[in-house]
């Protein structure tokens, strides 16, 4: 069961309006002497970002380092909140949800994939994938069965008992993708998922994302630095200094 109220189709899955994000830093920590007199320095990293993403889209976000890509992804993933502006996920105003409801949304509606894989080191691949199901209240035996099926789906069926340090980077990312899928999310957010991988392995990982999008209809938003990775998606949004400066279909 999804914790979000599913709204009328036609409604975007993601809709953000006039998002701004300002980080307030302790001026001592900021260390640049630009204090505003009360000991903090404000640094604005997102300016008036508005966009909609519909179900089934496959979107790349590009931009130089520091342009605000991860900040935007963290807000889309309900891991962080904007300083101002609005975010509706599947028609639900995120600002109206309690912390418990947000935790449920993160667990059930969104799958996360990161550059550094973020696997638990002392757990097997199988347990890494099964853990979010246990948090969602699924029993151990069903969790393990589903985790095994997902490892099989991403080509890692034979590696269920391996720990992350016994796996290559590409294999670890397959475990992370399996984990992201385990609660059947509508949305996958991937922040530079191929950033630590060689070209051939990156291509294989992108094939998995393309298949998930094409065959399973999962909406994917993916941050990348690389043009050939962005070319695997269908829409490109470019951020520059915290502003959307380009948003268009990727030519087929």
Interface residues with ligand ADP (CB under 6 A)?
Answer: 23, 25, 43, 45, 63, 65-71
Query: Cβ 25 to ligand ADP, closest distance in Å?
Result: 6
DSSP H or E segment with residue 171: helix 169-181
Beta bridge partners of 30: none
224, interface contact from Mg ion, ligand ADP, none, CB < 5-8 Å by kind? none
Residue 213 found at the interface with Mg ion (CB under 5 A): no
Smallest distance, Å, CB 190 to Mg ion? 12
CB of 74 to Mg ion, least distance (A): 9
| 224 near Mg ion, rule: CB under 5 A | no
Q: Which stretch binds Mg ion (CB under 5 A): 10-18, 38-46, 66-74, 105-113?
A: 66-74
Provide the CB-side half-sphere exposure for 126 (13 A, CA). Answer: 16
DSSP codes joined into one string, 34-74: ---SSSEEEEEEEEEEEEEE-TT-EEEEE--TTSSHHHHHH
Tell me whether residue 62 or residue 150 sits nearer to ligand ADP (CB atom).
62
* Cα separation values, 48 from 19, 59, 84, 136, Å: 5, 19, 9, 35
Three-state DSSP at 172 gives helix
CB of 239 to Mg ion, least distance (A): 10
Spatial separation of the C-alpha atoms in residues 174 and 154, rounded to whole Å = 6
Q: Which does 196 bind (CB under 5 to 8 A by kind): ligand ADP, Mg ion, none?
A: none
Q: Please, which residues bridge with residue 21 across strands?
A: 46
Quick one: 63 or 185, whose CB is closer to ligand ADP?
A: 63
Does residue 70 belong to the site contacting Mg ion (CB under 5 A)? Answer: yes
The CA–CA distances, whole Å, from 228 to 112, 113, 146, 231, 233 equal: 22, 19, 33, 5, 9
Contact region with Mg ion (CB under 5 A), list: 29-37, 65-73, 85-93, 140-148: 65-73
Site mask, Mg ion, residues 28-57, x = CB under 5 A? ------------------------------
Q: Output 43 or 210, the one with its CB closest to ligand ADP.
A: 43
Please report how close the Cβ of residue 96 comes to ligand ADP at its closest, in angstroms.
24
H/E segment holding residue 229: helix 227-230
Rounded CA separation 149/152 (Å): 5
What's the min distance (Å) between Cβ of 65 and ligand ADP? 4
Q: What separation in angstroms does the CA of 199 have from each of 195, 203, 229?
A: 10, 6, 10
The rounded distance, in Å, linking the Cα atoms of 50 and 16 is 5
The rounded radius of gyration (Å) of the Cα atoms in the chain is: 19
- Specify the residue, 70 or 173, whose C-beta has the smaller distance to Mg ion: 70
Whole-number minimum distance, CB 29 to ligand ADP, in Å?
Answer: 9
Contact of residue 154 among ligand ADP, Mg ion, none (CB under 5-8 Å per partner type): none
The footprint of Mg ion (CB under 5 A) covers: 69-70
């Amino acid at each position: 069961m999804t914790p979000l109220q599913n709204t009328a189709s036609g409604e975007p899955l993601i809709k953000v309006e006039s998002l701004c994000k300002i980080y307030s830093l302790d001026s001592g920590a900021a260390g640049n002497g630009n204090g505003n007199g009360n000991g903090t320095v404000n640094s604005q990293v997102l300016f008036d970002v508005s966009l909609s993403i519909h179900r089934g889209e496959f979107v790349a976000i590009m931009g130089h380092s520091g342009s605000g890509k991860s900040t935007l992804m963290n807000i889309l993933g309900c891991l962080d909140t904007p300083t101002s502006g609005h975010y509706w996920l599947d028609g639900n105003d995120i600002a109206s949800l309690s912390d418990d409801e947000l935790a449920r949304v993160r667990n059930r509606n969104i799958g996360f994939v990161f550059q550094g894989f973020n696997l638990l080191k002392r757990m097997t691949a199988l347990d890494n994938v099964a853990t979010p199901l246990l948090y969602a209240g699924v029993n151990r035996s069903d969790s393990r069965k589903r985790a095994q099926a997902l490892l099989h789906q991403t080509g890692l069926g034979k590696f269920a008992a391996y720990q992350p340090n016994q796996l290559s980077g590409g294999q670890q990312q397959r475990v992370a993708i399996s984990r992201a899928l385990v609660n059947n999310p509508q949305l996958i957010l991937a922040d530079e998922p191929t950033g630590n991988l060689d070209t051939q392995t990156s291509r294989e990982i992108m094939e998995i994302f393309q298949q998930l999008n094409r065959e399973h209809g999962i909406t994917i938003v993916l941050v990348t630095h690389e043009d050939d990775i962005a070319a695997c998606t269908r829409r490109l949004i470019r951020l520059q200094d915290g502003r959307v400066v380009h948003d268009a279909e990727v030519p087929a």
